[in-house]
Amino acid sequence: MSTMVDTSFSHFTRTAERAANQVIAAYSTSFGLACRLLGPRHRQHVRNIYALVRVADELVDGVTAEAGLSHEQQSEALDHFIDETHRALAIGYSSDLIIHAFAQTARAAGIDQSLTTPFFDSMRTDLGGRTASTGAPLRFDAAAHQGYVYGSAEVVGLMCLRVFIRGHNIDDGDAAALQYGASRLGAAFQNINFLRDLSDDTVRLGRNYLGTADHLEDEDRMEWVTTIRSQLADARAVIPLLPHDARAAVRSALELFAALTRRIEHSSVDELYQARVRVPDVFKAGLAARAVAATWLEPRG
């Protein structure tokens, strides 16, 4: 009887993981490419993390609103998703396939509510946008921006880091450096995406993540480019401390966002409001190949 239960659970978990993979395939070719560069022991776990945070993000970015839910109902839907996630972390099971896949990863890697709670707090902030107020955009000052970025992006980097270093004996100094680098990389990714999504965030969603003014100026854009480059440099410096089978993927993702930053630097603010900055697929493939080559030449530590 126990064998049958184990087999049923394993089959359900594999099904949940396939669902998580479909989320990545539908929403992010770039993230999917980076995941393929991870060692096999990391790959599915990172896909499971991505799927959960993506579903939560979609929940607050218009899916529930377009389904006709009132603001109160949207908030209830998010609360249900949060409660079910934390219940699954505790018991190791959910009937929601995406949450179930994430729970298996969280329990294997030591991801707990110290990381999930800040993430969901940022998702709740997004529900406080224009649709929940008088019609004015939700504006983030420096402190609000920092708190939002920590919850929405830095903790996701820290979740991935826990996957990468599980089973490794890492001294306190290296662990602190890796945590700092993971946070800085998550922040850089988020700030780049804020610049890429200026029109959608401000016009459709009613959120101004990059300041309290109604419109970003070119001077502001260059200040953010400088900030992002500093964040990317801090993250790049600690890549050699990662387990060898995680480095190529992290390096590839970092260099893709560095390339996006260069394109943002050479775009005017008006251009950023008109179109999302992208890197052609052939260029992404070249970045990935160079990341693999650079990692191959490094010692395996």
DSSP 159-192: HHHHHHHTT----HHHHHHHHHHHHHHHHHHHHH
Distance linking the first and last C-alpha atoms of the chain: 43
| Residue 9, number of CB atoms within 10 A of its CB | 14
The three-point CA angle 92-95-100 to 5° equals 45
d(CA 300, CA 295): 9
Domain ranges of the chain: 2-296
Structure confidence by residue, pLDDT tens digits, 94-118: 999 999 999 999 999 999 999 999 9
pTM for this prediction: 0.94
Residue type present at position 98: I
Per-residue confidence at 206, pLDDT binned at 50, 70, 90? Answer: confident
Return the amino acid letter for 181: G
**Which of 197, 208, 192, 67 shows the shortest CA–CA distance to 133?**
208
Please give the pLDDT value at position 131.
Answer: 44
**What are 170's two structure tokens?**
């890492």
Whether 220 and 170 have beta carbons less than 8 Å apart is answered as no
Q: How many CB atoms lie within 10 A of CB 49?
A: 23
For the segment 54-78, what is each residue's pLDDT rounded down to a tens digit? 999 999 998 999 999 998 999 999 9
> Domain 2-296 maps to which CATH number in 3.30.950.10, 1.10.600.10, 3.30.200.20, 2.40.170.20?
1.10.600.10
Residue 56's SS3 state is: helix
| pLDDT score of 127 | 87
pLDDT in tens, 160-185: 999 999 999 999 999 999 999 999 99
Nearest to 138 by CA among 128, 148, 123: 128
Residues 203, 67, 150: CA angle, nearest 5 degrees: 55
Q: With beta carbons less than 8 A apart as the criterion, state whether 33 and 252 touch.
A: yes
Distance CA 63, CA 10 (A): 31
The size of the chain, in residues, is 301
Say which DSSP state 206 is in. Answer: -
The whole-number pLDDT of residue 135 equals: 65
